[in-house]
Structure 1
Amino acid sequence: MKEFFCFLLSPYDKPMVDGWRNKVRFTFISLGVLIVLLLAIAALRMLYIHFTNDYSNSMTDLYIKGNLNFMIAKYGTAGLLVLGCLIGPLLEEAAFRLSFSFKRRHVLTGLPILALMISLFFGKGYLYIGGGALIASLILLACKSIRQEQLDGVKQRYGILLLHVMALFFALLHIANYGDFDITRLGSYIFSIGSILTGAYIFYYVRIRAGFIYGLALHVTLNSYMLIRFINN
């Protein structure tokens, strides 16, 4: 836990974990840290409801359940699991965390995917897909002229800031999962987004210290648990 909080202050101070066994062990430990933090947020949420009688959290839960039921009706249970446990985590990890090695090939892959995902989030239809593809192409062309030495400089100067900004951006994008914004549900948003932000930081932690595949595996594990729990209920 202490090492994780040190990571938030200086994510690039320590080298990557060496050896796949150590990386697997590190990923499992990080999963444990994530569970502890999420349980702590859940406990704070229950205390908040108890002392404020703010039941907007239940409205948020109902919206999420309704959205998942709609996806099951549209894609089937298997389709929901594929989208939520494989495709979704892969795209999110590629868009939001792949580039944070600051290796040129990762940046060239991650930034265009991020542009596509943002265009899909803010709009619907082929027009937005095309617009996202155009932006992604422009980013790709711009990045091709960037040298690795320049990316290393960006990492050294702005790596910490970029990590926190993108983690918060990742969490805020998920506010659409809770329906149309309603100021009366602010307490619900704080705890829900807080949980996602915590998960995002752990995903960054594993991605930077162990590697992209291990961060993706952790993301897949968490999403699978949440969706299977929903389906079984």
Structure 2
Amino acid sequence: MSPPDAPDAPLRILLVDDDAEIRLAFRAALTRRGHSVVTAATASEARELAATSHVDVGIIDLMLPDGDGFALCAEIGRRWGFPTVMLTARDEDAAVVNGLASGADDYVVKPVAPAVLEARLRAVLRRGLRVTEPDRLSLGDLVIDQSAMRVYVAGSDLDLSATEFRLLSTLVSERGHALSRGQLIDAVWADSLPSTARVVDTTIQRVRAKLAAAGVTSPVLETLRGIGYLVR
């Protein structure tokens, strides 16, 4: 799968709406446009999918049977880190302000054409990672403190070497962009060039093993055969 910010790259979308017709209509339209869509009718279903599916971006309705979209957007941003777009029939200023203040990355009023919605999804993805505070990045299950060179999973410190930290931080900072072994060597091993580019592969394997042991399901470190690596 191509990086999600490429012009024609398919997206993995979480669509949350309690209206079955709207779910079916948008899922069908976005699927026809090449995207993978998982749907939920409630906030609790959305949480389960956010935790178990590899999602690039969420589309969240405002009114849900077991909560509201404002709170769900805030929770998604805090726990899983992928961007969200609120999709609702309410267009009053207060609702728009509350939606954006809650952590939604955009606010789209129904009805909206699938092509326009797709463009808004790509726009929020191009804005990149959430910066939770200076020198801190949040993506999926990870919080990366760049100044302290620490990675946290559910509040616990993930034990990484300095090289492993630099490699993971570099990939996460370039989320969605493929990086070659040469680019990673320049970024991670610039002060002490390795004798072989395969050191990148072995370091990736160690980082993957530590993420798996910590129960991290997102972000995902992907191997692009013949190219390099990327995080999504």
TM-score (norm 2): 0.28
Whose strand fraction is larger, Structure 1's or Structure 2's? 2
Which one has more relative contact order, counting CA pairs under 8 Å at least 6 apart?
1
Whose helix fraction is larger, Structure 1's or Structure 2's? 1
TM-score (norm 1): 0.28
